[in-house]
Structure 1
Amino acid sequence: MSDLVTTARAATDAARPHLVALYRAVTGLLFACHGAASLFGVLGGAHGGGTVPIGSWPGWYAAVIQLVCGALVLLGIGTRTAALVASGSMAYAYFSVHQQNALFPLQNGGEPAVLFCWAFLLIAAVGPGSFAVGRRFAR
C-alpha cells in the first residue's frame, strides 16, 4: 500500500505546476470576464445588461482592475503583483459594499468577492505555475 501512496504522491507533485497554471488561468479568465461585462456590456453586461459609467467610483475603476489584472493573471504576466492588486480590490469590494448589508457573505451577496479575494491571494503566494507567458520574457 505504501508503494501506491508514494506513486500517487509523486504523480501529484509532478502535476502541481500544471494544476496551479490551470487554476490561475481559469480564475484570471473569470475575473477578466467580469471586467469586460462591466466596461463593454458584453456577456450579459453589468448588473442587468448595461455598463458602468466611465470614471464612476468605484465601479468603473473596479472593472478596469478586473479586466487588466484578470488578463495579466490569465496570461501569467506579472502574476504575483496582478493577483495581489486583484485580491486587494476584492477585499475592498467586500468590506465597502457587501459587509455593510449583513455579516456573512451568504447573507450580503459578497460570496464572489470573498472567493476572488482568497483565490487571488493564493495565486500571489504560490506564483503562476507552468505555462506562464511572463517566464518567456524573463529569459
Structure 2
Amino acid sequence: MSARLNTAQPYAIGLFRIVVGLLFACHGAASLFGVLGGAAGAEGGTLDAGTWPGWYAAVIQLVCGSLVLLGLGTRAAALLASGSMAYAYFKVHQPGALWPMENGGEASAMFCWAFLLLVFTGSGALGLDRLFSRRPDAEREPATQTVTVAA
C-alpha cells in the first residue's frame, strides 16, 4: 500500500498545486477585474490601481497563482505568494484578534502554509517546470572518459 501511495505522490502534489494556484489566481482576478464577485469590501467592484497593499496583493495573487497553477517557476512563485499571505495575516488580520477564526484570516493562513509546502516540494507532476527541465537521454548521463596513463 505504501509503495502505491509513494508512486502517486508526484501526481497528488501536482493536483494540489493546480487547485491552490487556481484558487489564489481567482482571488487576484476578483480584486483586479471585478469577476467572480469582485474585490472584498468593494461591493463587487475592483481595487484602485496602485493602492497599498490591496492592489499589489491582487497582482501577486494573479501572477503567482497563475504561475503555480501552470507549474512554471513554482518554487519562486510559491515563496513570494507565501510571504505575501504571511504579510496579509500579520498586518491585516492578526491585529484584530489572535486566532484566525476570530480575525477572518483563515484563507491567508492556509494559503501561506500551502505555498510554503510547495516551496519545498516543487511542482510535482503535470507542471511546465518538468517539461522545460527535460533533456535528451544523452545529455542526462555524463560521458565516461577513459584516461590512459603512460608509464
TM band (smaller chain): over 0.9
Deviations 1:76-129 (A, max 9, x none): 000000000000000000000001100100000000000000000001111110
Task: Write the distance in 2 (CA, Å) between the matches of 1:21 and 1:135.
Answer: 11
* 2:123 aligned partner: 128
Q: How does 1:1-139 map to 2 (within 5 A)?
A: 8-47=1-40, 48-139=43-134
Deviations 1:37-60 (A, max 9, x none): 000000010113011100000000
The amino acid of 1:110's aligned partner reads G
Offset at residue 134 of structure 1 (A): 2.0
Per the normalisation by structure 2, the TM-score is 0.86
**Which has the larger share of helix?**
1
Task: Write the distance in 2 (CA, Å) between the matches of 1:21 and 1:123.
Answer: 10
Q: Percent identity?
A: 65
Task: Write the distance in 2 (CA, Å) between the matches of 1:105 and 1:136.
Answer: 38
The amino acid of 2:102's aligned partner reads Q
Gaps of 5+ in 2: 135-151
RMSD: 0.7
Offset at residue 75 of structure 1 (A): 0.3
Per the normalisation by structure 1, the TM-score is 0.93
Gaps of 5+ in 1: 1-7
State the structure with more CA Rg: 2
Task: Write the distance in 2 (CA, Å) between the matches of 1:15 and 1:135.
Answer: 16
Deviations 1:1-29 (A, max 9, x none): xxxxxxx1111001000000000000000
Offset at residue 135 of structure 1 (A): 2.0
